[in-house]
Amino acid sequence: MPAHFSHAHPGKRLSALVGCALLLASCTSKPPKTLVTPLPPVAKQPLPDKPVRNNEPVRGVWLTTVSRLDWPPLTSVNGGSAASRISQQQNALRNKLDHLQSLGINTVFFQVKPDGTALWPSKILPWSDMLTGKIGEDPGYDPLQFMLDEAHKRGMKVHAWFNPYRVSVNTKPGTIRELNNTLSLHPASVFVLHRDWIRTAGDRFVLDPGIPEARDWITSIIAEVVARYPVDGVQFDDYFYTETPGSALNDAGTFSQYGQGFASKADWRRNNTQLLIEQVSRTIKQLNPDVEFGVSPAGVWRNRSFDPAGSDTRGAAAYDESYADTRRWVQDGLLDYIAPQIYWPFSRSAARYDVLAKWWADVVKPTNTRLYIGIALYKIGEPAKNEPDWMVDGGVPELKKQLDLNEAVPQINGTILFREGYLDQPQTRKAVSYLKGRWGNQ
């Protein structure tokens, strides 16, 4: 392995950051003149009791809010009164939780930061336009608190799911205008407060992960949620460095400023991701050791053809494509759990489900990190030339094989379905009925 260099005393900077985050006085209501975001006031508040922790396996689902994929309903945002919007959104969430409960699902991974906006009243991020149609507009209730209350009432756990670096889902002129219009808000979007942190990658606006202050800023957002809400966990998805061939992240300037001592830009990028994970992990544990920290990376760490420690696969690898050394995070004890997205069937030779699940089981075996497997509910019942198994008998035999393996391998502590909206689709009806029979009575 190449040597990893850290910047001087990251621990000191972190404790200063957490100290500031905990001690800072309340922000004024005026936008900051310097356009520099102060760290938030996150004095720890007594958190209400959470459901008793037990060791039952996780039977989870991701509930997506980006582009309103799972929630809130688009109809709630199109016209109508604020009262009608709130009741539609809250009723939709209650109905979803009732359905999840009937299926035996015990953990919801709720996307609270889909981009550079928030689904809670943040001092750092403006309100998400997913709720009202307009960035920064108060929806009239606190969706994160509402989700926590309703899920905990049903004995279900909630992990707050964050997309750390994404600022917007596109770079259209209308999106730029909406982001610029937040300048008069408090808080304004990071897009206007820290324009120098913003890059384009994958045809989206993102934060440059190589800027230390940007990582501090992300950490302060996590600190705000963990200090203020009784979340059961915090999860990052797989979007670290996310580029496409036609839309690469231009971080040449950042690399020349911060990349001294690294053999390659790739090593430097991986170190930036490492520093964020270390910093967030430490911050969560300082604020509330009971909150679990996990990551849900792409299923392949590295292919064996590149690295003898890798899996016998030929898929896009997190280490080489997202600059995320996910295996090292497990080995370093930075995560309470890892939830690799193993979105292929047993018969997909380039990335077999069983090969990857067992590879990850071996990775976590000598550690205290739990392993949950993310599975592709969204592929069930969908015709696919390379993966015909999802169509056989409504996808039930493939789903059964995957769940059987997860239960048979002692290191696998649960399963997470991607994503909630697919529990209610005609093509998954048979598979969902199978799930209910298998999980619903436990």
pLDDT of residue 49: 58
Closest to 246 (Cα-Cα) out of 183, 298, 311, 200: 200
CA dihedral 425, 430, 431, 435 (to 10 degrees): 110
Calculated CA dihedral for residues 159, 165, 167, 171, nearest 10 degrees: -130
| Strands 233-236 and 157-162, sheet pairing | parallel
Element (H, E) at 281: helix 265-287
Listed residue (418, 379, 15, 68) closest to 219, CA to CA: 15
Q: What angle do CA 417, 334, 279 make, to 5 degrees?
A: 110
191 has pLDDT over 80? yes
User: Is the per-residue pLDDT at 1 higher than 60?
Assistant: no
pLDDT tens digit sequence for 280-293: 999 999 999 999 99
For residue 72, cis peptide bond before it (omega within 30 degrees of 0): yes
The alpha carbon dihedral of 423, 428, 429, 432 has a sign of negative
User: Around Cβ 385, how many Cβ atoms within 10 Å?
Assistant: 5
| Interatomic CA distance for residues 349 and 315, integer angstroms | 10
CA distance 165 to 145: 23
The SS3 of residue 131 is helix
Q: Which of 49-63, 90-104, 229-243 has the lowest mean pLDDT?
A: 49-63
pLDDT at residue 29 in the model: 41
- pLDDT tens sequence across 289-317: 999 999 999 999 999 999 999 999 999 99
pLDDT band, residue 403 (cuts 50/70/90):
very high
Percent of the chain with pLDDT over 70: 88
- Check pLDDT > 70 for residue 349: yes
Helix or strand holding residue 48 (H, E): none
Identify the CA nearest to 235 among candidates 194, 187, 292.
292
| pLDDT surpasses 70 at 19 | no
**Cβ–Cβ < 8 Å for 107, 157:** yes
Position 393: which residue type?
D
Taking the CB of residue 327, how many other CB atoms lie within 10 A of it?
21
Is 384 within 8 Å of 392 (Cβ atoms)? no
- Arithmetic mean of pLDDT over the chain: 91
Contact assessment for residue 88 and residue 73, using Cβ atoms and an 8 Å cutoff: yes
> Rounded distance, CA 373 to CA 116, Å?
27
Q: Residue 55: what pLDDT?
A: 77
Q: Give per-residue pLDDT as tens, 105-121.
A: 999 999 999 999 999 99
